[in-house]
Chain A
Amino acid sequence: MEQGLEKFPPALRNYVSEALSFDAGPEALSGLRSHAREALLETLPLGRSERWKYTDLRRYFAKPTRLADSPGVVSQQDLERFLIKGYARAVFIDGFLSTELSDLEGVEWSALDEKIVGRVADIKSTGFVALNSVLLKDGFSLRVTKSQPQQRPIQLICLTSDKLVGEIHTRITIEIEENIEASICETHGAIGSGVGLCDYVIEIVLGKNARLQHVVHQQASKDIHHVVTRAGRIDEDAKFTGFSLLEGGALSRSETVLSLTGAGSEVKLYGIGLMRSRQHCDVTTDIIHEVSHCNSEQVFKNVVDGQGRTVFQGRVYVAPDVQGIEAHQLNRNLLLSKNARADSKPELIIHADDVKCSHGATVGDLDEEALFYLRSRGISENIARGILIRGFAAEMFEVLNDKTIVTYLDEALENWLLCADFDGGLA
């Protein structure tokens, strides 16, 4: 037996052993792969770890799997419903960049190489970074620089096809140069019903005084385990605003690790999770205040129906001796059925004095008083419930100033609600 494997339960050793023997990734990343192999045994969440307390992937890893070796066929027409008008786009099908479907005119991008990959995503952190580093087959590096001042906003469209049976491991790096303002939207979707695991690692670097609006709309087919790890570094006076609308898959995890590395930097993370049937959605964040005078704010809301389950783990770390920090987080959960469940775990690790931190979590049902108010205005109970559920989620859009994005996300919310039956199953 390979050294280190014995710490895993026997059923999982096969997966790890196969991952360790894989060497068909990009030639340019062979050095990264060999480092990551060593880290894999320590970081893969195959046992119990605090950061993976509520999300257990062991059953997935115990089943035989394989890597997707080529993308399925997707037509321009299939793509249409995912597009945001006016955006440039990079399209990934089953983890592979499709240059035919992409429209990257005026966008600065290149293939992955070791100078860029791994700058912010730490292979030693518990989770998927090491696994992604070992198994990744494709990806690309995106840069927004001064040389393209009139740059269109960019959409990263990551789709699974009907053909997908197996795993995809893909890396995307994003760099926003200093003083540049950019807008990027990640759209994760499915065409037909793929089966398997999607693992994306997105590395983000914001230079001094850069601005990034980073929007995510995530939806995976019901047999997909969907794990996206975002790791970022936010430099002096730079501002990162993230907004996620997550519709899950069989199991989904969105892990965001952002380091504030310069004074005046700011992170705002907002999100809505919409879960139903037996979906499991885990949102884990880790905001690291490395220096004085940088702020973070996180607000995450979940609507959970059926036997859905959501997890919110928000960690804020304030390094020793840094001063003048504000860090706030709030997680609110609306449970629509008796069997829905939400776990919320804030974690503040503070080694400094001059710090304003807050956290809050609520779990509840619809407001009966508001329901009565709407019904007393002639609105039927079923529609009134829909209005209140929608309002709970749509309130989050108020933080966005981008009308195109609000319309885009609102349409997704509307579609989710249309598929719902709020008549039954309500506690």
Chain B
Amino acid sequence: MLSVRNLHAEIEGKKILKGLNLDLGFGEVHAIMGPNGSGKSTLSYLLAGRPGYEVTQGEIYYKGKNLLELSVEDRSGEGVFLAFQYPVEIPGVSGMSFLRNSLNSVRKYRGQEELSAAEFLKLARGKASELGIDQVMLNRPVNVGFSGGEKKRNEVLQMALLEPSLALLDETDSGLDIDALKIVSDGFNALRSPDRSALVITHYQRLLNHIVPDKVHVLAQGRIIETGGKDLAMELEEKGYGMLGIQDGELEVS
């Protein structure tokens, strides 16, 4: 599904990723943990195509395609989906029209027929109610005035509609209470299938109780320094990054 080879990347001259290697197979879910400033969010942004990052070395292949050559929107069409750590507020744009625009853009890219307003409404309402999202919220401007939890749920709703093959969850658990965490995780788990994969970026092991990963990677100083099974997350939770000879916070990129 995804193969990252010797990836070096920087933003505004600051080196952030320094030789990152990662292989994610079809149907696999990998967790990425690591101290602040280790490059976790950079990795997810790079995969999604956020402008401003420069790849100085290395390559990323996704389903056999050179991902770095695809535009942001084409990556989405190809099935890459980033659930934002901080979903963006878009005043004046109703949630419903945004979602329909998004879904139909992606469907068009994938050679599927676009949905009519009525078809879309039915689909979106169904998915929203599974995620405990109020109808009223969908009609409001995108993310405007939403609580942290509502924003994250809204991200998962978009994911459920776009049915990505590579989901990138960037600290989707932050800002969620236990109930919301369960709803969001259930929403994610419902999408799991042998042809869908995910990278789950998190600081906390608790998310991984709900979304059980096949592998856990520790990202530090711009590369993966440790890989293990789901037990690694438990061990880190207990002992801290100190057990790997690093400390949370000390690796802030300067």
Which residues of A does B touch, CB under 8 Å? Answer: 367-370, 372-381, 383-384, 387-388, 390-398
Q: Which of B36-84 contact A (CB under 8 A)?
A: 48-51, 71-73, 75-77, 81-82, 84
B-side contacts of A387, CB under 8 Å: 90, 93, 98, 101
A-side contacts of B156, CB under 8 Å: none
On whether the beta carbons of A375 and B92 are closer than 8 Å, the reply is no
Q: Which of B84-135 contact A (CB under 8 A)?
A: 84, 87-93, 98, 101-103, 105-106, 109
A-side contacts of B109, CB under 8 Å: 378
B-side contacts of A388, CB under 8 Å: 90, 93
On whether the beta carbons of A377 and B87 are closer than 8 Å, the reply is no
On whether the beta carbons of A373 and B92 are closer than 8 Å, the reply is no
B-side contacts of A376, CB under 8 Å: 48-50, 72-73, 75-76, 81-82
- Complex CA gap A167/B233 in Å reads 78
Q: How far is the CB of A267 from chain B (nearest CB, A)?
A: 24
On whether the beta carbons of A392 and B91 are closer than 8 Å, the reply is yes
Q: For residue A301, which residue of chain B has the nearest CB?
A: B92
Count chain A CB atoms within 10 A of each CB in B77, B87, B92, B103 and give the residue with the most.
Answer: B92
Number of interface residues, chain B, beta carbon within 8 A: 30
Given contacts A377-B105, A378-B105, A378-B109, contact A370 B90 (CB under 8 A): yes
B-side contacts of A372, CB under 8 Å: 50-51, 72, 88
Which residues of B does A touch, CB under 8 Å? Answer: 48-51, 71-73, 75-77, 81-82, 84, 87-93, 98, 101-103, 105-106, 109, 141, 158, 162
- Complex CA gap A399/B166 in Å reads 41
On whether the beta carbons of A379 and B73 are closer than 8 Å, the reply is yes
A-side contacts of B82, CB under 8 Å: 376
5 intermolecular pairs with C-beta atoms under 8 Å apart: A375-B49, A377-B106, A381-B73, A391-B92, A395-B92
Q: How far is the CB of B137 from chain A (nearest CB, A)?
A: 16
On whether the beta carbons of A373 and B88 are closer than 8 Å, the reply is yes
Count chain B CB atoms within 10 A of each CB in A374, A378, A381 and give the residue with the most.
Answer: A378
A-side contacts of B91, CB under 8 Å: 391-392, 395
On whether the beta carbons of B102 and A377 are closer than 8 Å, the reply is yes
On whether the beta carbons of A378 and B77 are closer than 8 Å, the reply is yes
Count chain B CB atoms within 10 A of each CB in A368, A381, A387, A397 and give the residue with the most.
Answer: A387
On whether the beta carbons of A375 and B73 are closer than 8 Å, the reply is yes
- Complex CA gap A391/B143 in Å reads 13
